[in-house]
Amino acid sequence: MFFKQLKYLVCVSITLTISGGLFAQTTVKLATVAPEGSPWANELAKIKKKIEGESQGQIKFKIYPGGQMGGENEILQQVIRGKLQGAGLTAGALANTVKELNVLEIPYLFNSYAQADCVLDEHLLEDFRKLFEAKGLIFVTWAENGYRSIGTKSAPVKKPEDLKGIKIRVQESPVHIAYWKQLGVSGIPIAIPEVLPSLQTGVVEGFDNTPLFTLAAEWQTAIKYFTLTRHIYQPAAILYSKKYWDTLNDEQKKTLMGEGNKLAPGARQAVRSIEKNMIATLKKADVQVYEPTSADLAGFKSAANIVAGQVIGKIGGQSKQIYDKIQKAKAACGP
């Protein structure tokens, strides 16, 4: 699949070499925050082969893994300025520019993967396509990071009260920050490349992310406990800089766009199919994995309900309309 990697997170920088007024070659520099050898980096190798073949050598790829181009917010700003021509980023990072994406980060917003897929693909696709373009971004497809849970160093977390006094790394997102605050935690926003050293040195004592990303970034080496709260379903998006996109001819756009959002099911399945293996791998790494009971999760969900009411009115833009549309779509999409 063209953008099957997910979750995570790809940055595309494309330089056009022009000779005699004709496009001689396009060099695509791909960077990801995922380390070399991770599932995402491996998928990028497949993408490289596919696109170079389809373009008959007119598009060349070079891959930069491990956050060499910076954290997600740095990548996004470079794309907006046109210094990088594309990216694969989580909704949490993109929400700093497309504010309506903050709505998707509300904890326990969706009841299942199937419901999330239906809402995003069948009810919100065109809304967000327009919202992205208004900010200078060309939407290609949804992908995902998955459901975020909690990893900690010194003590297991079974209920919100267990988080008292623990310094938690949070994604640089107003919704994430608001949720942790509601849970009684003073979250510390830290960019992805700095999280592992921050855990190792005690700047923070925990974080939230998916099992897959935790292992890809090797954060499991700095924790002892992982609680499957699954509190935030986090989609991602593949996109290009509109400034760059407008310089392309139709054939180049067609090749780089690929199948568009028809790529989303494969990208999601690639992440979901290995979740059980990732949890098993955490256990093999001597991380104690806890599956909360319904009673355990009640406090986390209660805090989420409060956050939804707090942030919708503050996000601005079309956030209220998007939130209302999600609620209506959920009824149509089923549980």
Query: pLDDT for 209-253, tens place per residue?
Result: 999 889 988 999 999 999 999 999 999 888 888 988 888 888 888
Give whole-number Cα distances, 237 to 10, 137, 212, 281, 335, in Å. Answer: 9, 11, 17, 27, 24
Range list of β-strands (E), the chain:
10-19, 22-32, 59-64, 86-90, 137-152, 168-170, 188-189, 206-209, 225-241, 288-290
Query: How far is residue 107's CA from residue 132's CA, in Å, rounded to a whole number?
Result: 22
pLDDT of residue 39: 59
pLDDT of residue 286: 97
Query: How far is residue 38's CA from residue 250's CA, in Å, rounded to a whole number?
Result: 33
Q: Are 220 and 285 in contact (CB under 8 A)?
A: yes
pLDDT digits (tens, 9 = 90+) for 8-30: 334 444 333 333 333 447 777 76
Counting Cα atoms < 13 Å in the Cβ hemisphere of 209 gives 30
User: Which residues lie below 8 Å from residue 291, measured CB to CB, with a gap of 6+?
Assistant: 228
Tokens of 82: 């046109």
Give whole-number Cα distances, 134 to 75, 77, 84, 98, 117, in Å. Answer: 18, 15, 18, 9, 24
User: Which residues lie below 8 Å from residue 268, measured CB to CB, with a gap of 6+?
Assistant: 6, 113, 117, 142, 143, 144
Tokens of 35: 């380390």
pLDDT digits (tens, 9 = 90+) for 29-75: 767 776 676 656 666 677 778 778 888 888 777 777 777 788 888 88
Residue 87: pLDDT band with limits 50, 70, 90: confident
How many other C-beta atoms can be found within 10 angstroms of the C-beta atom of residue 295? Answer: 9
pLDDT at residue 120 above 60?
A: yes
Strands 225-241 and 137-152: antiparallel
Q: Are 83 and 98 in contact (CB under 8 A)?
A: no
Which residue would you say has higher pLDDT here, 19 or 135? Answer: 135
pLDDT at residue 198 above 80?
A: yes
Residue 87 bridge partners (DSSP): 11, 239
Residue 7: pLDDT band with limits 50, 70, 90: very low
Query: How far is residue 98's CA from residue 183's CA, in Å, rounded to a whole number?
Result: 26
Write phi, then psi, for 55 (nearest 5 degrees).
Answer: -90, 0
Give the pTM. Answer: 0.86
Tell the residue number behind the tokens 């200078």, with chain if given: 136
